[in-house]
Chain A
């Protein structure tokens, strides 16, 4: 990495806080609502920047339990093998993999989502 701090996550966080604290409060309702969406989007980017390496690595490990060829152990292959019937729907390892990978995705997209909060309790 040749770039200095702030990291991209830290930059995005600074913009998000600026919108939240200094802009949103000055706007009429419908624009405050849209600004909240912008803040939510920035927070997704921040979480993704901070966690993507770890989450991708962990997902790869899960994928390798189902797809033994390391070059083919990716999301597209998993989807293709479910579609073709190569992976059995009753396979507990498959079900576990879908649960765990989905949890990783939503931990970035929306960690406040009700079902996610229930499942990590």
Chain B
């Protein structure tokens, strides 16, 4: 399998003007919807590590195609946000299928290491500000360049999440409450922007000086930019370090300072709270989707079964945010 893939990558790179050898091809654990490989590409002049991201090629309502993801990353790069350099894009059934190659950004993406290892202690100090800056850059790109990105107005997204939750026929009073509460909020205060959709530790490459790259763009959409802000601030993505609101490493104030160093948009912590409720609920529904893919027999997996009992984590976070002054 990997030998065949090795030859295919070499052929594809040759077609794109780079003659050389592929070696050390290894699979990396990645998202469920895509496979990720790393390899070394070398020729007479140089040798470098690259990443192959390859999807099934099927259109999904949740994720954009890999080839689209790559084009979006290329365009975002010109905004100055840290994004890996795309080397070549493959689409359709030919070459590598729906896939792209990019330069490997050295660094760490595993949240627990970033939050606990000593070598990232300096990075952790700066990270909240840097994440704010990076998001503001992403949110300020000119939307005329991104016609192919799916539009996801937040009211429609909430409706879609609600219908998904209801389809499992497992009534959850806290979710009903949160959906009703969100119905009453005002979402008209922001203009549409490019939204990463899954901006959190796990999808950020971190090195010793901080944020090196924003990766995993498959949930990208055009919608309300506050989605990214709230998502980064939910307890589900603090990996146990719950006193640090931003990703388990930073304070909201630094994060918003980073944001406003680039963007003119003023963000109030009370507004962030609305989006923390929304983000927590969104994560809760994603947990339900995963557990029901196991219960319905589509994918039989212990991890997916276990995640069903993590829905109550999102419920306790919701009641904490809504009624008990949680942050």
Using a CB–CB cutoff of 8 Å, the interface residues on chain A facing chain B are 34, 37-38, 40-41, 44, 75-76, 78-80, 82-83, 85, 89, 94-95, 98-99, 101-103, 105-106, 109-110, 113-116, 118-119
Contacts and interface: CB of A to CB of B under 8 A. Distances in A.
A79 B172 contact: yes
Given A98-B174, A102-B319, A109 B310 contact: yes
B176 interface: yes
Nearest to A35: B302
B302 A83 contact: no
A114 B310 contact: no
Nearest to A48: B309
16 contacts: A44-B309, A78-B173, A79-B173, A94-B177, A98-B323, A102-B316, A106-B312, A106-B315, A110-B309, A110-B313, A113-B313, A113-B316, A114-B240, A114-B242, A115-B316, A115-B320
B238 interface: yes
B177 to A, nearest CB: 5
Interface residues of B, number: 31
Interface in B297-313: 302-303, 305-306, 309-310, 312-313
Contact of A99 (B171, B184, B319): B319
B205 to A, nearest CB: 22
B221 to A, nearest CB: 27
A101 B313 CA distance: 13
A102 B235 contact: no
Nearest to B175: A79
A79 B162 CA distance: 13
A75 B316 contact: no
Nearest to A110: B313
Nearest to A95: B323
A89 B302 contact: no
A113 to B, nearest CB: 5
Interface of B is mostly: helix
A114 B302 contact: no
B32 interface: no
Interface in B169-196: 171-177, 180-181, 184
Contact of B180 (A37, A82, A118): A82
B177 A82 contact: yes
A102 B171 contact: no
B172 A89 contact: no
B306 A41 contact: yes
Contacts of A78: 171, 173
Given A37-B306, A114-B238, A115-B242, A102 B177 contact: no
B313 A109 contact: yes
